[in-house]
Amino acid sequence: MDSQSKSVVAVILGGGAGTRLHPLTASRSKPAVPIAGKYRLVDIPISNCINSGISRMFVLTQYNSASLNRHIKNTYLFSAFSTGFVDILAAEQTPDNPSWYQGTADAVRQSLRHLQTFDFEYVLILSGDQLYQMDFCEMIDHHKKTGADISIATIPVPAREASEFGILKADDNHMITSFIEKPKQDLLPDWISDTGEEMKTEGRLYLASMGIYVFSRKLLFELLEDKMKDATDFGKQILPQSIGTYKVASYQYEGYWTDIGNIYSFYEANLALTDALPPFNLFDNTNTVYTRARMLPPAKFTGSTLEKSIVAEGSIIHASNIRGSVVGIRSRIGEETEIIDSYLMGNDYYETLAQLLANEEKGVPAVGIGQRCHIEHAIIDKNCRIGNDVRIIGGNKLANTEHELYTVKDEIVVVKKNAVLPDGFTIGADLT
């Protein structure tokens, strides 16, 4: 572990504007989006690094980075006797580089001057918007063992998903021989790989790039500063152009992994955490997911029935029924309210009694969810004020909509951060 921490520096890519996750990314960067009721997306790659003994990390971001900066500053404080750190590298204009990040490779290129002062042999490049648990030590050991210049983490996928990814082919020595970006279905028969007996029986015949890379230090600097100095993207330019010229290895991973690129995948990944045996295991002694340590009281329930749900600390729940849902920190839910198949992100603060009374006089709902509400197939962002008798019902072929207070995407209703929904407000089809 100690040698791993000294030989590897991790670079976590914060992603672009995150338009496919709108409106969750309207005021925060993609890595800062809350997941599982108490974490942020960026906690996943950082926790994987810490659990793998990698303690030097840079997070690259340029959009809406204030909340991400605050989260990292308040969370990842290593001992004074440790060399570990998690540093934000926000895009910056300099005399020799006046432009913002133009892509993944360009973001790392602009950050090289910050990296080069450190002693390391390998750079681990990660995405800030994926949900998975991986031991990076095994990937780096595989990189060394195969004598690779570059390693790409790959995951076997079935034909129905293959067109969504960059697909690779590798030889018997795990060296990648060819690459195609998002192949059309009629091309797939030419891209079948030997993914192993277990994967074959599941119909997972195609090797997809996971957007997780290991570069040997010398080559990364050579490529970005000299040989491919005009390339802006790893997946579209650097990696395809390196195949055949350098030793590019496939490291096959077979665990749970999902790319949280849009509202539907975000919703599905969060609700999957409520399964009896969830694909992403938060209850694991060896794979702790780290996040900000908040001094919150335990959740409190009065007259509620809960089924297949996760409720974070600090919540005060009077709901009649919560089913198949994730309820975030400091949530407040009123009496006779039903929450079904929904993700409530919770709140950043409690209102005082004086604030509650003052808002009541003005007719402003309290932070949280009022009484006799029905919320189904929805995502409720942070600090929303939802009045009494509000009905938010997604599904039922609900059309995509952009409203001042909410967005509908893929039949999922997303109530925007800080939205105020008055008593009796209705979104979606009525219950029959």
CATH 2.160.10.10 correct for 300-428: yes
* pLDDT exceeds cutoff 90 at 4: no
Q: Rounded to whole angstroms, how far apart are CA atoms 361 and 345?
A: 27
pLDDT value at position 241? 92
pLDDT range class, residue 68, cuts 50, 70, 90: confident
**2-272 matches 300-428 in fold:** no
In the block, residue with structure tokens 């019902």: 393
* pLDDT exceeds cutoff 70 at 379: yes
131-143 residue pLDDT tens: 999 999 999 999 9
What's the CATH number for 2-272? 3.90.550.10
Amino acid letter at 332? R
In the block, residue with structure tokens 């750190």: 85
253-294 residue pLDDT tens: 999 999 888 999 999 999 999 999 999 999 988 899 999 999
Q: How many Å separate Cα 418 from the centre of its chain?
A: 22
DSSP character string of 243-303: BTTB-EEEEE--S-EEE--SHHHHHHHHHHTTSSS-SS-SS-SSS---------PPPEESS
Average pLDDT for residues 322-337, to the nearest whole number?
A: 98
Amino acid letter at 290? Y
Are 216 and 150 in contact by the 8 Å Cβ rule? The answer is: yes
pLDDT value at position 181? 87
224's CB contacts (< 8 A; 6+ apart) are: 105, 108, 109, 112, 231, 238
123-170 residue pLDDT tens: 999 998 899 999 999 999 999 999 999 999 999 999 999 998 999 999
CA distances from 22 to 39, 100, 263, 409 (A): 19, 21, 8, 9
Q: Which residue has the higher pLDDT, 328 or 112?
A: 328
pLDDT range class, residue 346, cuts 50, 70, 90: very high
Q: Rounded to whole angstroms, how far apart are CA atoms 274 and 306?
A: 11
The full set of domain ranges for the chain reads 2-272, 300-428
Q: Rounded to whole angstroms, how far apart are CA atoms 30 and 400?
A: 21
pLDDT range class, residue 375, cuts 50, 70, 90: very high
163's CB contacts (< 8 A; 6+ apart) are: 182, 183, 184, 185, 188
pLDDT value at position 157? 95
5-61 residue pLDDT tens: 579 999 999 876 678 899 999 988 888 999 999 999 999 999 999 999 999 999 988
